[in-house]
Amino acid sequence: MKITDLEILTINDGGALMMVVVHTDEGIFGVGEVGLRSRQLAVRGALEHFRPLLVGNDPFRTEHLWQVMSRSGFYPADRVLASAISAVDIALWDLKGKALDVPVYELLGGAVRDRVKCYRHIGGADHAELVDNARRALEEGWTVGRLSVPSEGDLLEPRAATRHALAEVAAVRDELGSEFELILDVHTRLELPEATTLCRELEGANMYFIEDPLRWENPDIYRTLRQRTSVPLAAGEQAASKWEIRPLIEQDLIDYARFDICIVGGFTEAKKIAGWCESHHIRTATHNPLGPIATAASLHLNMTLPTFGIQEQYQLPGTQANDVFPVQATMDGEWMRRPEAPGLGLEVDLEAARAHQMEPPPMPQLRRLDGSFTNW
């Protein structure tokens, strides 16, 4: 079997899902998803560079092809290249599973659990709506929900946002008690002083974890925050490789590794990171605000990880792009079921995907009161 082409399709799944299809001379194809939903023109360019490196090669040589894509340009892969590599790598594993007629998780060492626990996003225009949505999620069988540090439209002032976040956590806790566990996603929006205040104030709230309390450019800053608070910390969704997330693992600066299989390098790299986490008793909480392919890939990975903690599930399976993905992963409440079909277990209608091409929309932008740019 040889790779014959690399097809790039951007489809509407509520956002802009960039799907990579690896075709072969035996008619079997695999699909992967790009994790970077911004700068997709740059990712497309990276994939165009990869096409001549891949065509004519044996698709089963996943580790070799990963090394070629990552290192053959001399400069180490960053988020743009790593997101392109991730999509190709996931597609290669999907293809391999289909060719061998086994689910991907069987190729990764086999299942270590029967199902995968997930958490969902909870939001609301005010405290009453937020509490109602959390109560509804609990009634539907979810026991862990993710809140976020709020903005006011396109305005985010760190001290005000910190106060609002603490009030939202308190509102849900007062109504639902500890039965519904809480994650707070800071989304890299705060600087060290406000992140410290937030984390310290939440030490008594029995949080599941605080997610991305600081910007990613300097992971070493987590050492300072770690010294200042005892609240569980989670980070890593912006990591592009094992090398970038290394300081957080080796220095025990996080409790949950939030790497994204569609950004960090696909199955090939994610398994290495997870093994490293296991040696430091760090659990995984895979980042997944993406589409059906990312959900399926995260599910197969998490079926195999002894150190698995929880999986983010923003987009519920079967609610988006059903014409392109008529068969997706399935859930019972907060539990994602063990898949049995070959590869990723998805059915993909390529003709439907080709008929629904779209341009990626602009990403949100936030500002401070003085008009300066701040992280979304």
Active site residues: 187, 287
| Three-state DSSP string of the chain | CCEEEEEEEEEECCCEEEEEEEEECCCCEEEEECCCCCCHHHHHHHHHHHHHHHCCCCCCCHHHHHHHHHHCCCCCCCHHHHHHHHHHHHHHHHHHHHHHCCEHHHHCCCCCCCEEEEEEECCCCCHHHHHHHHHHHHHCCCCEEEEECCCECCECCHHHHHHHHHHHHHHHHHHHHHHCEEEEECCCCCCHHHHHHHHHHCCCCCCCEEECCCCCCCCCHHHHHHHHCCCCEEECCCCCCHHHHHHHHHCCCCCEECCCCCCCCHHHHHHHHHHHHHHCCCEEEECCCCCHHHHHHHHHHHHCCCCEEEEECCCCCCCCCCCCCCECCCEECCEEECCCCCECCCECCHHHHHHCECCCCCCCCEECCCCCEECC
Rounded distance between C-alpha atoms, residue 156 and residue 246, angstroms: 31
Rounded distance between C-alpha atoms, residue 137 and residue 175, angstroms: 13
**Are 240 and 77 spatial neighbours (Cβ–Cβ below 8 Å)?**
yes
Four-point Cα dihedral 317, 18, 304, 328, nearest 10? 30
Q: Residues for the chain: how many in total?
A: 376
